[in-house]
Amino acid sequence: MSEPAAHDLSVRPSLRDGHCVPLVARLDVPVAGIVEDAHEKGIAAAMAQWSAFGVDQANLEPILTYCAEQRCQDDGATCPGCRMRTASLGLKTLDDFITQYAEVQVKDGGLRIPAPGRGSFATSSLDALAKTWAGEEYWFWARRVLRKLRHGIRRAAQSGAPPETESSSPVFILVRPQLADNIGMVARAMANFGLEHLRLVAPRDGWPNEKARIAASGANFIIDGAEACDTFEDGLSGLNWVAATTARQRDLAKPVLTPEQAVAEIRRRLAQGQRCGIVFGPERNGLETGEIANADAAIMAPVNPNFASLNLAQAVLLLSYEWMKQSGTGTLGRVTTYEHALQPGLRLRGSQPANKEELIAFFAHLERELDDSGFFTAPDKRPSVVQNLRSMFARMGATEQEIRTLRGIIKALAHSRGRRRQLP
């Protein structure tokens, strides 16, 4: 086999250690190695690492695409450490994985596990092996890296920091939250809709908590800034107006507001220089009536009366969405280096709506070909059929490009019909 050219970074299945492996030519590295570098170290760091071999964005994308589209299956090749290799070997349990080797060496404690297979395998600990033996889903990593490569990394205002447009916002107060995961999901919901101030009253699992950070999925600025309070009264300190969320009716003489009304009231008070907060109860039973008595108003969402309870993150999401909606500062979907804010309505994708001349010319083309094909079998009904066709296509609101596509389809069908007529 000839040596790959100096610029050749194509993927070639090659035999290595008894397995067919998709290797990047010239680098002599499995595709999974490139994917892992780009995913774990970042795209820029990966390209810098392999720059001496000519790796840049243009030739990195085909390598990632090979993995993302699982083209290795067609080549009958798998990367070491990939879940596809585990599946191809028929390994369904940790026991299956271990028995394929003659010995498994556990570095922590010097343990050696004999097995009936061939070769040896080293792991840092049995706990680590139990978590990793099945292999990584490298194709999933490749898809994530490809999205970043093609569309850019999300701007900080979308994932890692509060928006700069809001000068003040309400404090969200979680009273006795029971699960750190829920706190993380609350932080994520707040970050989605431009909120940042979070207080925690007597969180059951303590604070700070790494599980909450993981569940926050990047909303670390909220987790890092969250205040932990010992008592309910401490959670309300410094606030002028507070609303408490509840799904149950309470025997209290107190204003009851919808989320929309509550956010409008908060915005009015914030504009006057007041500080406001919204209180959410623990996951199991919500706030106590005595706690709601300390609030200035209760918030109740319109829900199915037979299934009224929201989980903690859902309740926060509901109020957070209303906050962003009334601010008018949100965007439809994400904004990245190459993706701009969208407006509601039809996306034309760069093509203008077809003008009437183009539309009428399309009608004439269509009707002419329908006449030639014998579509109008009843001449007296032709005018009404034509009117219905024109109304249908006019209602479509086609773009210039779509009209050109439709005319190309008609032309191709007419050409095909003419060829069939010429056949002996």
Sign of the dihedral through C-alpha 99, 100, 102, 108:
negative
**Per the structure block, which two tokens stand in for 235?**
């959670």
For residues 166 and 118, membership in a common domain is answered with: no
Q: Is the pLDDT of residue 16 over 70?
A: yes
DSSP H helical segments within 226-311, as ranges? 232-235, 259-271, 289-292
CA 354 to chain centre: 34
Q: Are 355 and 298 in contact (CB under 8 A)?
A: no
Q: Is the pLDDT of residue 167 over 70?
A: no
For residues 215 and 319, membership in a common domain is answered with: yes
**Per the structure block, which two tokens stand in for 277?**
């907060």
pLDDT in tens, 227-283: 999 999 999 999 999 999 999 999 999 999 999 999 999 999 999 999 999 999 999
Q: Which helix (H) or strand (E) holds 13?
A: strand 11-16
Residue 328 neighbours by CB distance under 10 Å: 7
Query: What is the reported pLDDT for 422?
Result: 55
Query: What is the reported pLDDT for 416?
Result: 78
For residues 260 and 274, membership in a common domain is answered with: yes
**Per the structure block, which two tokens stand in for 271?**
């504009």
In a domain, residue 22? The reply is yes
For residues 304 and 322, membership in a common domain is answered with: yes
Alpha carbons 65 and 23: distance in angstroms, whole number: 14
CATH of the domain at 239: 3.40.1280.10
For residues 318 and 416, membership in a common domain is answered with: no
pLDDT in tens, 53-84: 888 888 888 999 999 999 999 999 999 999 99
In a domain, residue 336? The reply is no
Alpha carbons 305 and 253: distance in angstroms, whole number: 22
Q: Is the pLDDT of residue 285 over 80?
A: yes
> Which structural domain, as residue segments, surrounds residue 256?
159-327
What are the two backbone dihedrals, phi and then psi, of residue 113, each rounded to the nearest 5 degrees? -110, 110
In a domain, residue 346? The reply is no
What is the mean predicted confidence (pLDDT) over 312-326? 96
Alpha carbons 104 and 123: distance in angstroms, whole number: 7
Distances (CA, A) of 336 to 51, 60, 328: 25, 20, 19
Structurally, how many domains does the chain consist of?
4
DSSP H helical segments within 272-333, as ranges? 289-292, 312-327
The pLDDT confidence band at residue 161, using thresholds 50, 70 and 90, is: low
For residues 314 and 169, membership in a common domain is answered with: yes
Q: Is the pLDDT of residue 289 over 90?
A: yes
Average pLDDT, the chain: 87
Alpha carbons 170 and 240: distance in angstroms, whole number: 11
Q: Is the pLDDT of residue 164 over 70?
A: no
Strands 19-24 and 11-16: antiparallel
DSSP 379: G
For helices 356-373 and 400-422, the axis angle rounded to 10 degrees is 20
What are the two backbone dihedrals, phi and then psi, of residue 120, each rounded to the nearest 5 degrees? -135, 160
Query: What is the reported pLDDT for 156?
Result: 35
Query: What is the reported pLDDT for 40?
Result: 86
For residues 275 and 296, membership in a common domain is answered with: yes
What is the mean predicted confidence (pLDDT) over 34-40? 90
CB-based contacts of 13, cutoff 8 Å, min separation 6:
20, 21, 22, 23, 72, 75, 76, 77
Please write down the long-range contacts of 371-375, taking CB distance under 8 Å and 24 or more positions apart: 372/414, 373/414, 373/417
For residues 200 and 172, membership in a common domain is answered with: yes
3-state secondary structure string, 346-362? CCCCCCCECCHHHHHHH
- Tell me, yes or no, if the pTM score tops 0.85: no
DSSP 82: B
Nearest Cα residue to 23 out of 35, 33, 11, 32: 11
CATH of the domain at 395: 1.10.8
Alpha carbons 187 and 181: distance in angstroms, whole number: 10
In a domain, residue 246? The reply is yes
- Domain edge (last residue) among 327, 347, 364: 327
Q: Is the pLDDT of residue 346 over 80?
A: no
Alpha carbons 118 and 188: distance in angstroms, whole number: 48
For residues 25 and 71, membership in a common domain is answered with: yes
Alpha carbons 146 and 174: distance in angstroms, whole number: 38
In a domain, residue 64? The reply is yes
Q: Which residues of 351-383 are buried (b: 16+ CB within 10 A; e: fewer)?
A: eeebeeebbeebeebbbebbeeeeeeeeeeeee
In percent, the amount of the chain with pLDDT more than 90 equals: 54
For residues 11 and 81, membership in a common domain is answered with: yes
Dmax over CA atoms of the chain, in Å, equals 94
Q: Is the pLDDT of residue 6 over 70?
A: no
For residues 229 and 312, membership in a common domain is answered with: yes
**Per the structure block, which two tokens stand in for 167?**
């000068």
Q: Is the pLDDT of residue 340 over 90?
A: no
In a domain, residue 333? The reply is no
In a domain, residue 340? The reply is no
In a domain, residue 166? The reply is yes
For residues 221 and 295, membership in a common domain is answered with: yes
**Per the structure block, which two tokens stand in for 147?**
């999205």
